[in-house]
Structure formats: structure tokens, C-alpha cells
Structure 1
Amino acid sequence: MVIFPIIIVLSFVLFVYYWVAISRSKDKLTQHYFHAKSRICLGIFVLVFGINQYLYYETRLSLFIGIVFVILGGMQLIRGIKETKHYRNEWRRLYPKEN
């Protein structure tokens, strides 16, 4: 089960990357877009972390904690996907020549 730690580390690194990109960007639309992308990475991190914890410990307590993490991570992931689609469409609407 080496795939889960790889996904956890990769999603956390991407989360930090997008979080730094937010602070470096001056455009508000770009900041919102990067924030949505970082929300997707955070959702994947929390979701996979919850699954990994249950598979590692396999106790009833880790099941309940894992369910909470999966729900919270799924909510972050879904909201991030919706925000990413919205801000991508706004970017295309405001800057049609750069597509």
C-alpha cells in the first residue's frame, strides 16, 4: 500500500505550491483560481489520509475518524472542482484573446 503515502505527499506538496502561488499573484481572479486548485489538493490530501488511516490501523475508532476525514475531504474536493470550473470560465470570458 505504498500508493496512498505517495498520493498524500504529492497532494500536500501541490497544496503548498498553490498556496505560495496565491501570495505571489497580484490578479484577484488568478488568486481565486489558485485557491480553488489548492482546495482540490487539500481535499485529496484529507480524503486519502482518512482512507490510509483506516487501512493502516483497521480499528473501529480509525473507521469513524476515517469516515469523518473522507466526508470532509470529499466536500473540499467537490467545492474546489466547482470553483475551478467557475473561475476558469470567468478567465475565458474576461481574457478571450489569451486562450
Structure 2
Amino acid sequence: MVIFPIVIVVSAVLYIYYKVAILKNNDELTQKYFNGKARVCLGTFLLFFGVNQYIFYKTQLALFICFIIALVGALQLYRGFMEAKHYRSEWRRLNPNE
């Protein structure tokens, strides 16, 4: 199960990347678009982290805690996807060169 740690690390790095990109930019639309992308990365991180921890421990308490973490991650993933989808077309229209 080497794929879970790889996805966890990549999603954490991308989350930090998008949060720093938000701080560097002054355009509100770009900030909201990058925030949606950051939420997708955070949701992916939490979802895979919860699944990975359950696979590692395999106890009933771990199942309960990891289910909550994975549920929060899935909700962040969904909200971030919908947020990024909402702002994507307008951002692409205003920034055609990126």
C-alpha cells in the first residue's frame, strides 16, 4: 500500500502550494479559485489519511475515528470541487495566458 503515503504527501504539498499562491495574489477571483483547489487537496489529504490509518491499525476505535476523518475529507473534497468548478470558467476567461 505505497500509494496512500504518496497521495497523502502530494496532496499536502499541493495544499500548501495553493495556500501560498493565495497569499501572493491580490485578485479576489484568483484567490477564490485557488482556495477551491486548496480545498480539493485538503479533502484528498484527509480522505486518504483516514483510510491509511484504518488500514494500519484495524481496530474498532480506529474505524470510528478514521470514518469521521474520511467523512470530513470527502465533504471538503466535494465542496472544493464545486467551488473550483464555479470559479474556473470566469478565471479562465480573465486569465487566458495561464
Q: Shorter-chain-normalised TM-score: which range?
A: over 0.9
4+ residue segments displaced more than 6 Å:
none
Query: Could you say if the C-alpha distance between residues 63 and 30 of structure 1 is closer, same or farther in structure 2, counting changes exceeding 3 Å?
Result: same
1:50 correspondence with 2:50: yes
**Residues in 2 aligned to 1:3 and 1:13: alpha-carbon distance in whole angstroms:** 16
Q: Does 1:79 align with 2:60?
A: no
Structure 1 distance, partners of 2:96, 2:15, is: 26
What is the identity percentage for the equivalent residue pairs of Structure 1 and Structure 2?
57
Give the deviation of 1:89 after TM superposition: 2.2
Uncovered stretches (5+) of structure 1, i.e. residues with no partner: none
Q: Aligned-pair distance for 1:80?
A: 0.4
Segments of 5+ residues of structure 2 without an aligned counterpart are none
State whether residues 44 and 74 of structure 2, in contact with CA within 8 Å, keep that contact through their aligned partners in structure 1: yes
Q: What residue is the counterpart of 2:17 in the other structure?
A: 17
TM-score normalised over the length of structure 1:
0.92
Q: TM-score, normalised by structure 2?
A: 0.93
Could you say what secondary structure the match of 2:65 adopts? Answer: helix
The CA RMSD over aligned residues, in Å, is 1.4
CA contact (8 A) 2:42 2:76 kept: yes
Q: What is the CA deviation profile of residues 35-66 of structure 1, one whole-angstrom value per residue up to 9, with x for unaligned ones? A: 00000000000000000000000000110011
8 Å contact kept, 2:18–2:38: yes
For 2:71 and 2:83, how far apart are their aligned partners in 1? 18
Q: How many residues align?
A: 97
